[in-house]
Amino acid sequence: MFNLFKKDPVKALDKQYRQLLEEAQQLQRNGDIKGYALKTQEAEDVLKQIEALENRSDGSKSPER
Q: How confident is the model at residue 65 (pLDDT cuts 50, 70, 90)?
A: very low
* The pLDDT of residue 3: 64
Taking 50 as the threshold, does the pLDDT of residue 19 lie above it?
A: yes
Query: Exposure of 24 by Cβ count < 10 A (0-12 exposed, 13-18 middle, 19+ buried)?
Result: buried
47: which residues sit within 8 A by CB, 6+ positions away?
17
* The pLDDT of residue 58: 78
Q: How far apart are CA 57 and CA 50, in angstroms?
A: 11
Look up the pTM and report it.
0.77
Query: For the chain, what percent of residues have pLDDT higher than 90?
Result: 71
